[in-house]
Amino acid sequence: MAQRPPTEPLPWEDWAEHLMYPHLINMTAELIRDTTYKLRHAEKIKDRHSHSITYELGFIAAGIQERFQRMLKIYRKYADMKAFEESTYTVPELMNAYHVMQGDYNEIRLEKGIFHDIVRKYESTPPTTPPGPPRSTPGGRRRVTWRSNLNE
């Protein structure tokens, strides 16, 4: 049987790499489009509800909770004595964690003050509709008196 002459390797490996780049670009473009769409949607919701006290207070409360959770995560990492003894944390790493926690604590205090300012602002605001004239009966309707014409 005659031997076949050696052939050049098939370009599948190069072809896969060639297809990988446009695929990566398309995936990135789709991710950017999706993110832009979701941000626009979130902005519309924010614009619709930003005037209400529940939105303002909820926004601040979510920020406080997010910072507290981050502080708790850092604390759990460095306060675990078994992990602290096993791993070698450097002084700059510990100082960085301390500064992040201190910054979060100060931001929580600031947002707590803003929270109380908003509550005081809304508590001191008069109602949006002024009270009407005094009402003599429940519901403010004029009392109807029935007269019978049978006695005449």
Q: What is the pLDDT of residue 25?
A: 92
DSSP string, 94-133: HHHHHHHHHHHHHHHHHHHHHHHHHHHHHHHSPPSS---S
What's the token pair of residue 90?
């450097």
Tens of pLDDT, residue by residue over 32-43, are 999 999 999 999
- Cα 76 to Cα 101: distance, rounded to the nearest angstrom: 12
The model's pLDDT over 94-123, given as tens digits with 9 standing for 90+, comes to: 899 999 999 999 999 999 999 999 889 888
Q: Lowest mean pLDDT: which of 5-9, 18-22, 34-38, 52-56? A: 5-9
Q: Which of 63, 57, 65, 61 is nearest to 119 (CA)?
A: 57
Lowest mean per-residue pLDDT among 87-91, 125-129, 145-149 = 145-149
**Cα Rg, the chain, nearest whole Å:** 34
- Which two three-digit tokens encode residue 103? 């910054």
Question: What's the whole-model pTM score?
Answer: 0.55
Residue spans of the domains in the chain: they are 53-125
Q: Which token pair is 38?
A: 């979701």
Is 105:51 a contact under the CB 8 Å cutoff? no
